[in-house]
Amino acid sequence: MPDHAATLRVSEIFHSLQGESSRAGLPTVFVRLTGCPLRCAWCDTDYAFSGGETMTLGDVLIEVARHGAQQVCVTGGEPLAQKACLPLLTALCDAGYSVSLETSGALDIAQVDPRVSRIMDLKAPASGEAERNHWENLDRLTARDELKIVLADAADYAWARQAIRERKLDAICPVLLSPVAGTLDPKRLAEWVLRDRLPVRVQLQLHKIIWGTERGR
C-alpha cells in the first residue's frame, strides 16, 4: 500500500480539459510535479523545472478529489524524476481514477503501475534531447499506452517517419504527431502525413486553442 506520508514537490494541481492524446477533451485533474532532467528547446512548461510546493501523497489525493473528475493526469516536468511519483500513480489507481502519465521517455517506465496509461514522448532532433531517448522503453509499452512525437520542422518529421517505419511503432501503440505551436504549421504536418500515408494521429493542443498559453489550463 502506498505511503500517504511520502512527499512530492508539486508545481500545480488544476482542473481543465485534457488537451492531448486520445483523451483530448475529457475533464481532467492535472498533477504537475516539479523538476525535469531534460531541457527541450520548445518546452512550454519550463516554470515546472523548479519551485513548487512540498505536499504529502495524502494531501495530493485530497486535492485531486476536491475537483470531482474521473480522469487524472500526472505530468511535469518529468514526473518520474521524483521517487514518490510511482506510489502516487498506484494510489490514484487504487482510488478508482482513470490515470495517465505524461513522461519524456528518457527515464525507465518499467515500474509504473500497469493500470496507468503511459503517454510517452520520443524526442526528435530539434528538441535538443534526442540522445536522451530510452529506446528500451518501447519494449515495455502496451496497446493502452501512446507515443507522442513533437515536431519542429521537416527534418524532425523525416526522423519520426523513419522511426515509425523501421521500429514499427504503430504496431506497439497509437502514435501521435504534434507540431510545435507557432513553429510548424499544422497544415504542413497534416499534408506530410497524408502524402506518406503514415499510420498516426495528428494532434493539436486543444487547451491552447481554447485558452492560449494561460497557465493552469
Q: Where do the domains of the chain lie, and which CATH numbers do they carry?
A: 7-211 (3.20.20.70)
Q: What is the pLDDT of residue 141?
A: 98
| DSSP-derived pairing of the beta strands 53-56 and 7-17 | antiparallel
Mean pLDDT of 2-6: 88
What is the rounded CA–CA span in Å between residue 187 and residue 154? 13
pLDDT of residue 217: 67
Q: What is the pLDDT confidence band of residue 142, given thresholds at 50, 70 and 90?
A: very high
Whether 69 contacts 95, CB under 8 Å:
no
Q: What is the mean pLDDT of the chain?
A: 95
CA distance 63 to 211: 23
